[in-house]
Structure 1
Amino acid sequence: MPPSRRRLLAALAGAALTGCQASGAARPGPGAAGPAGSVLATPAPAPAASAPAASGTARSGGAEAGAPAAVPGSADPPPGAASRAGAVTRADLVSRYGQLEPTSWGFDGPGVLSRLPAGEAAIALTFDACGGPQGNGYDEALIGFLRERRVPATLFLNSRWIDANPAVARALAAEPLFEIANHGTRHCPLSVSGRSAYDIPGTRDVGEVVDEITGNRAGLTELLGRPPRFFRSGTAYLDDVAARIVSDLGERFAGFTVNGDGGATFTAGQVHSAVTAAGPGAIVLAHMNHPAAGTAAGIATAVPRLLDEGCRFVRLSEAVP
Structure 2
Amino acid sequence: MAGGFLAGCTSAPDPAERSPEPSSPPGPGTAPTPSAARPSPAPPSPKPAPRVTRAATVARYGRMTPTGWGFTAPGVVTKLPSAAGRAIALTFDACGGPGGDGYDRELIDLLRTRKVPATLFLNARWIDANRAHFEQLASDPLFEIANHGTRHRPLSVSGRSAYGIAGTRDAGEVFDEVAGNQDKLTTLLGHPPRFFRSGTAYCDDIAARIVAELGERFAGFSVNADAGATFTPAQVRRAALTATAGSVVIGHMNHPAGGTAEGMARALPGLLAAGHRFVRLSDAVH
State the TM-score, normalized to the length of structure 1. Answer: 0.79
Question: Cα deviation per residue 1:163-197 (whole Å; 9 max; x = unaligned)?
Answer: 00000001100000000000000000000011101
Aligned to 1:301: 266
| Partner SS for 2:258 | coil
Residues 87-236 of structure 1: matches in 2 within 5 Å?
87-120=51-84, 121-236=86-201
Query: How far did 1:94 drift?
Result: 0.7
* CA distance, structure 2, for counterparts of residue 205 and residue 278 of structure 1: 35
* CA distance, structure 1, for counterparts of residue 41 and residue 49 of structure 2: 20
Note closer, same or farther for the CA distance 1:256–1:234 as it changes in structure 2 (3 Å cut).
same
Question: Cα deviation per residue 1:57-105 (whole Å; 9 max; x = unaligned)?
Answer: 343474346xxxxxxxxxxxxxxxxxx3543111111111111011100
Q: Aligned AA for 1:105?
A: W
Q: Aligned AA for 1:10?
A: A
Query: How far did 1:311 drift?
Result: 1.2
Question: Are the equivalent residues in 2 in contact too, given 1:275–1:302 (CA < 8 A)?
Answer: yes
* CA distance, structure 2, for counterparts of residue 304 and residue 280 of structure 1: 15
* CA distance, structure 1, for counterparts of residue 64 and residue 274 of structure 2: 48
Residues 306-317 of structure 1: matches in 2 within 5 Å?
306-317=271-282
| Partner SS for 1:123 | strand
Q: Please tell me whether residue 10 in structure 1 is matched to residue 2 in structure 2.
A: yes
* CA distance, structure 2, for counterparts of residue 302 and residue 164 of structure 1: 30
Aligned to 1:265: 230
Note closer, same or farther for the CA distance 1:158–1:60 as it changes in structure 2 (3 Å cut).
farther
Q: Please tell me whether residue 19 in structure 1 is matched to residue 1 in structure 2.
A: no
* CA distance, structure 1, for counterparts of residue 50 and residue 205 of structure 2: 22
Q: Runs of 5+ in structure 1 lacking a partner?
A: 1-8, 23-53, 66-83
Instruction: Give the ranges of 4+ consecutive aligned residues of structure 1 lying more than 4 Å apart after TM superposition.
Output: none
Q: Aligned AA for 2:221?
A: F
Q: Aligned AA for 2:8?
A: G
Q: Aligned AA for 2:55?
A: A
Q: Aligned AA for 1:89?
A: T
| Partner SS for 1:17 | coil
* CA distance, structure 1, for counterparts of residue 198 and residue 89 of structure 2: 18
* CA distance, structure 2, for counterparts of residue 85 and residue 296 of structure 1: 38
Q: Runs of 5+ in structure 2 lacking a partner?
A: 12-35
Question: Cα deviation per residue 1:132-163 (whole Å; 9 max; x = unaligned)?
Answer: 11000000000001000100000000000000
Q: Please tell me whether residue 274 in structure 1 is matched to residue 266 in structure 2.
A: no
Residues 46-65 of structure 1: matches in 2 within 5 Å?
56-60=38-42, 62-64=44-46
* CA distance, structure 2, for counterparts of residue 139 and residue 249 of structure 1: 30
| Partner SS for 1:193 | coil
| Partner SS for 2:101 | coil
Q: Aligned AA for 1:155?
A: L
* CA distance, structure 2, for counterparts of residue 55 and residue 287 of structure 1: 22
Question: Are the equivalent residues in 1 in contact too, given 2:88–2:249 (CA < 8 A)?
Answer: yes
Note closer, same or farther for the CA distance 1:194–1:201 as it changes in structure 2 (3 Å cut).
same
Aligned length: 261
Question: Are the equivalent residues in 1 in contact too, given 2:71–2:203 (CA < 8 A)?
Answer: yes
Query: How far did 1:307 drift?
Result: 1.3
* CA distance, structure 2, for counterparts of residue 227 and residue 210 of structure 1: 15
Question: Are the equivalent residues in 2 in contact too, given 1:112–1:243 (CA < 8 A)?
Answer: yes
Question: Are the equivalent residues in 2 in contact too, given 1:61–1:228 (CA < 8 A)?
Answer: no
| Partner SS for 1:200 | coil
